[in-house]
Amino acid sequence: MKLKPPINLAWIRFTSCSGCQLMLLNCEPSLAELARIVAIRDFPLASSTLGKNTEIDIGLVEGSITTPSELERLLAFRRKVHLLVAVGACALTAGVNSLVRGERRQAMTKVYAEQGDDWNTFPPQPVAHFVKVDGQIPGCPPEPGELLNSIGTLLNGGWAGHQVMPVCMECRINENPCLLERDRAPCLGPITLAGCNARCPNLGVPCEGCRGVVAEANRDELCRLFKTAGLTDQDISHRLERFGETT
């Protein structure tokens, strides 16, 4: 059902770098038109307005959940939001926040010394582990156009479409040399969901897999190629774990 302006829109941030919010704010040519349609009720990087008791039409969630207080805020947010959209790799898979290996408390002490002993945290979790998620916008950070298209589609009563092919195909379309074959670089393009126009490989940088795994990904073949390129089983495992994938 098409929503009638002004649409109450809120953006809530949990454990993350705020890069997803920044990508939307970087869409300067479209912000005036967007502001004409939506009423911002919460948006940490854009407004000091807090719509604590306001019903929200579209709620955007950035970041992974890492503390009991964040979980309480998420549950309260879900109760007042009509459509909840998880934005970015941290919200979808826990992202780079989940890269800590080994004993978590030891890692916190190593980084924050004794002050970290009093912090009540748990391993970073995706938003969908706790609440219903109506839509997803992948990426680290998401593509600006994908953010605008997703919001625009929801305003008009639809669901944003997403690519179903891997980043590898976008590389071929752009006529890029294959970094995996040419340089034996650990590129995750063969199994990563497209939609970024192969942003990193276009610059000669191997795909990090931040958009998540494409459907029917051939993980076995990618592991074979990685081993041919000289990666060990541990290297491959660490590479795939970066954005939530496992071997």
- The Cα–Cα gap between 171 and 108 comes to 39
pLDDT tens digits along 67-119: 999 999 999 999 999 999 999 999 999 988 888 777 888 888 888 888 877 88
How is the beta sheet containing 38-43 ordered, strand by strand?
47-50, 38-43, 7-13, 56-62, 81-87, 135-137
Element (H, E) at 56: strand 56-62
Instruction: Read off the DSSP letter of residue 145.
Output: H
**Cα separation of 202 and 204, whole Å?**
6
Q: pLDDT digit of tens for each residue in the chain (247 aa)?
A: 677 778 999 999 999 999 999 999 999 999 999 989 999 999 988 888 776 778 899 999 999 999 999 999 999 999 999 999 999 999 999 988 888 777 888 888 888 888 877 888 899 999 999 999 999 999 999 999 999 999 989 888 888 887 889 999 999 999 999 999 899 999 999 999 999 999 999 999 999 999 999 988 998 999 999 999 899 999 898 888 877 655 4
Q: Are 243 and 93 in contact (CB under 8 A)?
A: yes
